Chains A and B, each alone.
Chain A
Amino acid sequence: MFKKKECVAMLLAGGQGSRLYALTQKVAKPAVPFGGKYRIIDFPLSNCTNSGIDTVGVLTQYQPMLLNEYIGNGLPWDLDRTYGGVKILPPYQGTHSADWYKGTANAIYQNMQFIDRYDAEYVLILSGDHIYKMDYAKMLKFHKANNADCTIAVLDVPIEEASRFGILSVDDEQKIFKFSEKPKNPDSTKASMGIYIFTKSKLAEYLNADAADPESSNDFGKNIIPNMLKAGERMYAYEFEGYWKDVGTISSLWEANMDLLGENPIFSLADEKWRIYTRHQVLPPQYVGCDGKIENSIISEGCEIYGTVKNSVLFPGVKVMPGAVVRDSVVMSGTVIGEGTELSYALIDTDVTIGAKCRVGGEVGNSEDITVLGEGTVIADGEKIDAGVMIPELRKDKK
C-alpha cells in the first residue's frame, strides 16, 4: 500500500484568507476562483503533477467543505494514484491531545506520520495562496546538489516592496546567512516565496523541538527557519524567475486576473507544456450573440454574451444580457448581469444576480475602489452600487 517516495509535498490550505473578506466567507482561500476557470489551489497542485511529485498532503482547517469536494480523489490533476496521490489531512483527535493546527509548522508536525508512511527523504512545503508556474523538480535537484538541510525559493522583488516579505541574505553560493521577517530596512531584495524543501530528518528534529517549546508560535517563518539558521544548518536560497503573485487581498486578486489579459500577457495560462489542471463543470461552449462585443477579455465555457465585455475575466456560465456593459472586472461562475446594467472595476463572486439597468462599481484607479459582491448576492433592478462597496461588508475598518 505504501511505496517509498523520495519527496512528499505538504500543501498548507487551511488559511482563511481574511483579507479577501466576502470572497472567503464560505470557502478557504485556496478554493477561491481565479483566471476564468481555475481555483488558486490548481496552481500548486498542477505544479506538483507537472514536476513529477505525485504524493501531496493537503492540510485543511478553515471552511473545508468545498475544498474537500473540489479535490475529491485528485483525478483532474492526475493525482488519483494507487500509491500516494492527493490526500486531505484535516486536524484530528489524537491519543494525547486534540488540537486545531496552531500554526504552519504545527500543521506539519501533527502530520509527520503521513510523511513517514512514504519514507520520504525530502519534504516540500507549499501554500495555497500563490499564482505561479514552477518546476519543483529543479528546486529539489538544487537542494540535493547542495546537500542542504533546507532550501527556500526566493524571488527578486523591488527594494521598496521588500519590507512586505521575509527577506533572505545570501553569500555567493546562495547559502543563507540572514533571515528577517518583514524588515523595516531590508538589506536584500530576495524575498521568500513560502516554498520550502526540507531534508526530512532535519525537519523532524526541528518540528519536535518546536512542539516542545510553549513559547513558540509554531510558524515556519517565525520559528523553524530562524532556529535552523541560528544553529548553523545548511540553508540555501533557490532563485525563481518568472511570475509569482500572492493573491491574498482583493486588489492583488483583481490585478492577478488582469495580468492574464493583453496580447503578450505577463502571465499566460495557454502554455501547453505546463498545463494548469482544474476540475471542470459540464457546460457547452460559450455563445456570443448578434450584438455581443468582446475586447481584450478571457471568457470561459457556458458563458452567454449578448452585451459588451471589455478588459475582463469571465468564469464559466456567466450571462451578460443585451445592452449590459462589463468593464475591468472579474465575474465568477453562474453570475447574471442584467439588461442595460453597467458593471465596472469589480470582483463579482459566484451565482450573483444583478438586475436590469443597474450601475455597479466605479472607475479603475485606487484599489480601495474595487467593488466586491459576495456569493449569491442579488441586486434589484435599477440599483446603484458605488465604487468600493462590499456586499456583505466585512471590513472592520470600513464604516
Chain B
Amino acid sequence: MTAAGLIFSNIHDISIPEMTAERTMASIPFGGRYRLVDFTLSNMVNSGIDKVGIITHNNYRSLMDHIGNGKDWDLARRSGGIRILPPYVSSSDSPIGGKLYTNRLEAMLGAIDFINHCDEEVVVLSDCDDICNIDLNAVLDYHEAKGADVTFVTKKMNLEGGKAGQYAIINADAEGNVTEIVDSSPMTKGEFNVCTNIVVINTGFLVSTLHTSVSYGYKDFYTQALAAAMASSKFVAYDFDGYYAEIGSLPKYFAANMEILRADVRNELFNTKDRPVYTKVRNTAPTKYAEGAVVKNSVIADGCVIEGTVINSVLFRGVRVRKGTVVKNSVMMQDSCTGENVQLNCVITDKNVTIRDDVNLSGHETQPFYVAKGKMI
C-alpha cells in the first residue's frame, strides 16, 4: 500500500509555550541529539514513505534549518522527498478568509495542493508531540486488511483532565470499529483510548472530507468532519502498545527525557532493528571526558567536554560541564555550558545557555527550572 506523509509542525505549540516562543513544536530538541520531528519523520521513512509534507504556521526558521534538503532522513529526492509547506494568507474570499490557519482542518485546506498531488493510496497524518518508534507498515497492513477509510492509532492513556479538546478519545468495539469520537474535557479523568494523532486516511476520502467540511463550515477535524462521515464509512482503531510519550507540557517534556535513561525505553526507541532514528548530522568531535570526570546514568551526545559530575541527566551536543560542577536530573541542550562549581538540579537549559561560576539552580521534577535559549545566569 503506497503512502505519503503529512506532518503538522505547530499544532501543539501552545502546550509548551516556554520552548516554542522561538521555534515550532517539531523543532524542540529532545533526547540528546534529536528534535521531536525526527521521531515522526524516521517512523515514516523506516516504513518506506518517501514523500512527506510538513505544514508550518509560524516560527519555522529553526525547523527549516534542521530539515535542510532532507538528506539526513534520505528524503532529498528528485521525485517526492520532503516538502516544507509554509503558511500563506489566502485571499479573503477563500474558506479560511485571509488569515493563517487556526485548526487542523484549515491547516489541511492550506495544504490541499500537496494532498491533491499525492498519487499514493493513503496519507499518514502525524503531529510532532509524540515520541515513539512505531512500525507504520503494520498500521498500513491493518488499514488495508480492514478495508478501512480511516485508521486511528490509539494509545491507552491515563488522562488527568487538561484543556477542553486537548485529546480526541476514540471508542471502538471488539473488532476495532470506531463507535465514537469525542473531545476530552477538563473533567475527563481515567483511562481512555486516546488518538495519538497518527492517522492513516485514504487520499480520496481525505480530499472529499475536506471539501465537505468547507460546505458545512466544520471547525474540528475529528469530532465534526470525521464524526459526520463515520456512519457511511469504515473507521477503525489500531491500538499501539509500544513506548509512547506525549509531550503535552514542560513537566511531561522533562519526564520523557528522564525516561530515556531507562534501558528498556532507550532500546525500544533507538535500538529497534532496521528502525533507527535519523537526525541532522552536526560533525562534532566525539565527547571528551577529563581526568576527574564523574558520570552516572546519563545520556550524552557527541561534542561534549565533561570535567565535572553528571548524574541522571541528558546532555546534548557540544555541552560543556566544568570542574567542580554537579549536574543532576537535568537536561542541557546544545552548546550550553556551565562555569566551575555550579550546581544544577531538575533544570532544563535551552540552547546556548551559559551558567556562570558558583551558581546554584534547582527545580522540581514536577516543575523543572527552565532557562531560555541564549540566556546567561
Contacts and interface: CB of A to CB of B under 8 A. Distances in A.
A285 B32 contact: yes
A284 interface: yes
Interface string A287-311: 1111111111111110000000100
Contact of A296 (B266, B283, B290): B290
B60 interface: no
Contacts of A35: 285-286
Interface residues on A, range: 35 or more
Given A269-B285, A280-B281, A299-B287, A285 B297 contact: no
B31 A285 contact: yes
A285 B283 contact: no
Interface in B242-293: 261, 266, 269-271, 276-278, 281, 283-293
B299 interface: yes
B298 A295 contact: no
A75 interface: yes
Given A36-B285, A75-B71, A286 B300 contact: yes
A270 interface: yes
Interface stretch (B19-27, B232-240, B301-309): B301-309
A282 interface: yes
A288 B297 contact: yes
Contact of A290 (B31, B291, B297): B297
A288 B285 CA distance: 18
Contacts of A282: 276-278
Nearest to A298: B286
A35 B285 CA distance: 9
A301 B296 contact: no
A298 to B, nearest CB: 5
A37 interface: yes
A263 interface: yes
Contact of A275 (B269, B270, B283, B286): B283
A275 B294 CA distance: 28
A288 B263 CA distance: 11
B285 A285 contact: no
A113 to B, nearest CB: 30
A297 B266 CA distance: 24
Contact of A301 (B261, B290, B301): B301
Contacts of A314: 286
Contacts of A37: 285-286, 302
B270 A284 contact: yes
A278 interface: yes
Contacts of B285: 35-37, 268-270, 276, 298
B33 interface: yes
A388 B374 CA distance: 51
A122 interface: no
Interface in A182-220: none
B295 interface: yes
A283 B284 CA distance: 14
A295 B298 CA distance: 15
A277 interface: yes
Contact of B266 (A270, A277, A287, A298): A287
Given A280-B281, A282-B276, A288 B296 contact: yes
Contacts of A292: 295-296
A330 to B, nearest CB: 12
A296 B294 CA distance: 11
A285 B300 contact: yes
Nearest to B291: A296
A294 B289 contact: yes
Contacts of A283: 270, 276
Contacts of B303: 270
Given A36-B285, A275-B283, A301-B302, A284 B296 contact: no
A293 B315 CA distance: 17
A295 B283 contact: no
A293 B277 CA distance: 27
Nearest to A309: B289
A275 B271 CA distance: 28
A105 B300 CA distance: 46
A284 B286 contact: no
B296 A299 contact: no
B295 A288 contact: yes
Contacts of A289: 296-297
A287 B299 contact: yes
Contacts of A285: 31-33, 299-302, 314-315
Given A75-B71, A298-B287, A284 B297 contact: no
A38 B269 CA distance: 26
B293 A295 contact: yes
B32 A300 contact: no
A312 to B, nearest CB: 10
Contacts of A280: 281
A310 to B, nearest CB: 9
A295 B281 CA distance: 26
Given A270-B305, A282-B276, A301-B301, A277 B283 contact: yes
A22 to B, nearest CB: 23
B206 to A, nearest CB: 31
B283 A300 contact: no
A150 B276 CA distance: 49
Nearest to A315: B286
Contacts of A284: 31-33, 266, 269-271, 277, 299
B31 A299 contact: no
Contacts of B32: 284-285
B292 A295 contact: yes
A122 B298 CA distance: 51
A313 B287 CA distance: 10
A269 B300 CA distance: 18
Given A284-B266, A285-B301, A299 B277 contact: no
Closest 7 CB pairs of A and B: A36-B286, A285-B32, A284-B270, A269-B285, A285-B301, A300-B286, A282-B276
Interface of A: 35-37, 75-76, 261, 263, 268-270, 275-278, 280, 282-301, 309, 313-314
Given A282-B278, A285-B32, A301-B286, 9 more contacts: A269-B285, A276-B283, A282-B276, A282-B277, A283-B276, A293-B294, A295-B291, A295-B293, A313-B286
29 contacts: A35-B285, A36-B286, A268-B285, A270-B288, A276-B283, A282-B277, A283-B276, A284-B32, A285-B33, A285-B299, A285-B301, A285-B302, A285-B315, A286-B299, A288-B296, A288-B300, A289-B296, A291-B296, A295-B292, A296-B289, A298-B285, A298-B286, A298-B289, A299-B287, A299-B300, A300-B286, A301-B286, A309-B289, A313-B286
